[in-house]
Amino acid sequence: MRQRIPLLICFICGMTMAIQFFIPHQYSQALYEEAVNWLRVIAVFGFVIGLGTLLGIHTRRIRRGGSNAFYSGVLIAGLVGMVIAWLADMKEERFFDWLFYNVQTPLDSTMFSLLAFFIVSAAYRAFRARTLEATLLLVAAILVMIGNIPIGNNIWDWLKLKVGFLPEGLPVKVKDWILFNPNMASRRAIYLGVGLGGVAQSLKIILGIERSHFGGGEE
């Protein structure tokens, strides 16, 4: 029973919304608008659950102690601090904005910037032409990188000036060809697969064949 009622609700809602999409009648439209309102309300519950889980995990870590407890403390302090900053100056939000521009923005940028160092180091150590596929990937990546930067085009223009018969703006043309042809074809194949998989998975959930979202186990 604990599974049958949610399954029935899921089936009715899923089928109704799928059929509704193809009916342009005003009642069908009103139903759709109501469903979208409900969706926004349900989305708010997601925030509450997320916040509750986050606080639960990190307060447990602080209670348990250990080397990571300090970081959990920083997380909770940041979370509570931002809420207090917003509550204290709700109308103008000046302090909240100040914290965003002067604390969150530099921290976020710094974390992301560190990636550059690791990516360059990893490219040097791991990007090897071991197989034909790896070589193709390597060559395509280098050609796209050259086409993406002005230096590549400037060097090509200089070469063209010296040699003469070279085609105009080749690095950009090669990059555009790679992105608009092999890249697009492979992406489209992936999207078609993902789309068909999504339809199959949705049908399985609506018809109650797929029940893993209940947390697994038999009734």
Span 7-26, contacts to other proteins by CB under 8 A: none
**CA separation for the pair 195, 191 (Å, rounded):** 6
Part in contact with other proteins (CB under 8 A); list of ranges 8-16, 55-63, 68-76, 128-136: 128-136
Q: According to CB under 8 A, which one of 8, 142, 159, 196 is a site residue for other proteins?
A: 142
Judged by CB under 8 A, does residue 48 bind other proteins?
A: no
Q: Which stretch binds other proteins (CB under 8 A): 29-37, 50-58, 72-80, 204-212?
A: 29-37
- Binder of other proteins out of 59, 68, 183, 201 (CB under 8 A): 183
Could you say which of 123, 166, 196, 209 contacts other proteins (CB under 8 A)?
123
**213-217 long-range CB contacts below 8 Å, 24 or more apart?**
214/3, 214/6
Give residue 103's region: left, alpha or beta (phi > 0; psi -120 to 50): alpha
Closest C-alpha among 208, 205, 207 to residue 219: 208
Which region, judged by CB under 8 A, interacts with other proteins, from 4-12, 55-63, 177-185, 208-216? 177-185
44 is a site residue for other proteins (CB under 8 A): yes
Q: Which stretch binds other proteins (CB under 8 A): 53-61, 73-81, 109-117, 209-217?
A: 109-117
Of 117 and 165, the one with the shorter C-beta distance to other proteins is 117
Helix axes 26-64, 4-20, angle to 10 degrees: 130
Residue 10 host element (H or E): helix 4-20
**Could you give phi then psi for residue 27, rounded to 5 degrees?**
-65, -40
Q: Which of 74, 136, 149, 209: binder of other proteins (CB under 8 A)?
A: 149
Q: Select the residue interacting with other proteins from 169, 208, 210, 211 (CB under 8 A).
A: 169
Which residues, 6 or more positions from 205, have their beta carbon under 8 angstroms from its beta carbon?
Answer: 10, 14, 213
Does 51 sit near other proteins (CB under 8 A)?
no
Q: Does 157 bind other proteins (CB under 8 A)?
A: yes
The DSSP code sequence of 151-192 is: HHHHHHHHHHHHHS-SPTTHHHHHHHHHIIIIIHHHHHHHHH
Task: Give the residue ranges of DSSP H helices in 25-169.
Answer: 26-64, 69-88, 94-99, 105-126, 132-148, 150-163
Kindly list the residues in this chain that would bind other proteins in the complex (CB under 8 A). Answer: 33, 36-37, 39-40, 43-44, 47, 91, 97, 100-101, 104-106, 108-109, 111-112, 116-117, 119-121, 123-125, 127-130, 138, 142, 145-146, 148-151, 153-154, 157, 169, 172, 175-176, 179-180, 183-184, 187-188, 191
